[in-house]
Amino acid sequence: MPSATSAAPIPVYLLTGFLGSGKTTLLARLVHSREFADTAVVINEFGEVGLDHVLVGQSSEDDIVLLDSGCLCCASNNSLQETLESLYYRRLRGEIPAFSRIVVETSGLAEPAPLINALASDASIARHVRLAGVITTIDAEHGAATLDEYETAATQLAVADLVVLTKTDKVAPEAASAMAGQLRRQAPGAPVLRADRDGLQERTDLFQAADRRTVAPGQFGLERPRAWTRLAHVLRYGIASHVIRADGPVDWARYAAWVDYMQSRLGERLLRVKGILLMEDGAHYAIHGVRHVFSPPRPLDGEVPGDLSGVLVLITRDADEEELALAAAVLDGGA
Ligand SMILES: Nc1nc2c(ncn2[C@@H]2O[C@H](COP(=O)(O)OP(=O)(O)OP(=O)(O)O)[C@@H](O)[C@H]2O)c(=O)[nH]1
């Protein structure tokens, strides 16, 4: 565990998911597990009537509670920036135990992109914390209808690094499997874990599965496209996912030109970019963008399967084939 004065930014995981999709129920299980021993959980109620922290098991008047598992629970009505700063400095001053990661439960109606962008672009925050991954809960019973009906839910899925399919006890196993398959198509690149009332059904390290820096074998659940791009799935609202590839190492100037193209040409219509590029220095880097904000590429831990090297998933809204073909060409050095 890093010391309280360690300069390494603390990883932050955002837990998002539509209203009633099971975020609090999942957290209420997880906060008592060993995995959460050195985790600070922020339940961000953003002016809502504070309830969720009570559901997680924190009934004291205090704003921060240390659970038996070692997990710190913190309910907050402040902005995400204020909350994270306060946590950071209280940890630094030794007022609270030195947690090594933070999980933030966001409001069910929140578009996660502004929070993600705030983490990346607020300089005073970005020095202390880094976005490690976005975990999105989808309800096995109502998830398909919700995704169809509410654009916020579709956006929450689009930005996921890990999807947790909740309430699998409420549907037949075949229905849960079909839904998991649908989610893999809609959010290519994000592993799908299942949960019921008792928490996660798989014995998986949630943080590792959600971490953008690690690649689990088979994680992407997609084939390296043979042609330049493959339309993976079209959701409503013109939201669609595509896969593009870059053959061979990419030099940094070309990568910069590609980011520039994505930002200037697609702009607000770009929802999410994720994938792995082999760069000119011979290392594999995790590539992440949410809306127009791209995180600095980070070298990946561990082996990267050959079929994932150079593969990027793009989730866009109202993008046409020509724009995507050009995106692939810019990346591949053909434009
Ligand atoms: N059967 C079953 N019910 C669940 C499961 N997860 C959540 N629920 C129920 O679904 C309802 C909503 O769950 P919450 O955990 O409060 O959902 P949430 O995403 O935190 O909701 P908001 O705070 O409104 O965004 C509650 O009645 C839970 O008991 C599950 O895996 N199985």
Q: What is the pLDDT of residues 98-122, one digit of tens each?
A: 999 999 998 777 788 888 888 877 7
pLDDT digits (tens, 9 = 90+) for 272-309: 888 889 999 999 998 888 777 888 898 887 777 777 78
Nearest CA to ligand 1 atom 11: 20
295 CA distance to ligand 1 centroid (A)?
A: 32
Domain harbouring 145, CATH code: 3.40.50.300
If asked whether residues 125 and 14 sit together in one domain, one would say yes
ipTM: 0.98
- Quote the CA–CA distance of 255 and 143 in Å, as a whole number: 36
If asked whether residues 250 and 312 sit together in one domain, one would say yes
Atom of ligand 1 nearest to the CA of 52: 23
196 pocket-lining for ligand 1 (C-beta < 6 Å): yes
If asked whether residues 111 and 257 sit together in one domain, one would say no
Residue 2 lies in a domain: no
If asked whether residues 245 and 115 sit together in one domain, one would say no
Nearest CA to ligand 1 atom 27: 20
23 CA distance to ligand 1 centroid (A)?
A: 7
Contact 102/11 with Cβ under 8 angstroms? Answer: yes
17 pocket-lining for ligand 1 (C-beta < 6 Å): yes
- Quote the CA–CA distance of 192 and 37 in Å, as a whole number: 24
Does residue 207 register a pLDDT over 50? yes
Domain harbouring 309, CATH code: 3.30.1220.10
Domain end among 181, 210, 239: 210
Residue 16 lies in a domain: yes
Among 32, 29, 27, 28, CA closest to 14: 27
Does residue 222 register a pLDDT over 70? no
51 pocket-lining for ligand 1 (C-beta < 6 Å): no
Residue 327 lies in a domain: yes
pLDDT digits (tens, 9 = 90+) for 50-81: 444 444 554 444 577 777 778 888 877 777 88
In order of 211, 271, 330, the CA distances from 298 in angstroms are: 12, 20, 21
If asked whether residues 24 and 118 sit together in one domain, one would say yes
If asked whether residues 169 and 273 sit together in one domain, one would say no
Residue 215 lies in a domain: no
Residue 55 lies in a domain: yes
If asked whether residues 65 and 204 sit together in one domain, one would say yes
Of the chain, the percentage scoring pLDDT greater than 90 comes to: 28
pLDDT digits (tens, 9 = 90+) for 239-252: 787 888 888 899 99
142 pocket-lining for ligand 1 (C-beta < 6 Å): no
Instruction: Report pTM.
Output: 0.79
Residue 221 lies in a domain: no
53 pocket-lining for ligand 1 (C-beta < 6 Å): no
CA dihedral 77, 83, 89, 91 (to 10 degrees): 90
Residue 217 lies in a domain: no
Mean pLDDT of the chain: 82
pLDDT at position 126 is: 81
Contact 54/23 with Cβ under 8 angstroms? Answer: no
Among 156, 168, 221, 219, CA closest to 194: 168
184 pocket-lining for ligand 1 (C-beta < 6 Å): no
Nearest CA to ligand 1 atom 5: 167
pLDDT digits (tens, 9 = 90+) for 117-160: 888 777 778 888 988 999 999 999 989 999 988 888 988 998 89
pLDDT at position 174 is: 96
Domain count along the chain: 2
Does residue 236 register a pLDDT over 70? no
pLDDT at position 49 is: 41
If asked whether residues 204 and 77 sit together in one domain, one would say yes
pLDDT tier at 86, thresholds 50, 70, 90: confident
If asked whether residues 187 and 257 sit together in one domain, one would say no
If asked whether residues 190 and 239 sit together in one domain, one would say no
One-letter amino acid of 232: A
If asked whether residues 170 and 66 sit together in one domain, one would say yes
pLDDT tier at 223, thresholds 50, 70, 90: low
If asked whether residues 165 and 305 sit together in one domain, one would say no
Q: Which residues span the domain enclosing 244?
A: 229-332
35 CA distance to ligand 1 centroid (A)?
A: 21
- Quote the CA–CA distance of 195 and 208 in Å, as a whole number: 17
- Quote the CA–CA distance of 96 and 64 in Å, as a whole number: 9
Query: Phi, psi (5° rounding) for residue 181?
Result: -65, -40
Residue 73 lies in a domain: yes
pLDDT tier at 4, thresholds 50, 70, 90: very low
